[in-house]
Amino acid sequence: MFGFEKNDRANISDEELEGLQTLASDLLALTTKQLDKAVDDGMLQEICQ
């Protein structure tokens, strides 16, 4: 997944939207323990702002 400034790109494609919706569904189904393990394993990165 990548981020971009809104003025750099007008929108995402239908295929990208479907993929992001699937990813969001999968991530929301994870337990706290599973999320912590994914971060520890380097599969996910927590971004704090």
Tokens 């699937």 map to which residue?
22
d(CA 36, CA 34): 5
pLDDT, residue 6, reads 66
Tens of pLDDT along 5-43?
Answer: 666 666 888 999 999 999 999 999 999 999 999 999 999
Q: Return the DSSP state at 39.
A: H
pLDDT, residue 49, reads 76
46 vs 3, more confident: 46
Q: Tell whether the model's pLDDT for residue 2 goes beyond 80.
A: no
pTM of the model as a whole: 0.66
**Domain range annotation of the chain:** 6-40
pLDDT, residue 46, reads 86
SS3 sequence, 1-34?
CCCCCHHHCCCCCHHHHHHHHHHHHHHHCCCHHH
Q: Return the DSSP state at 38.
A: H
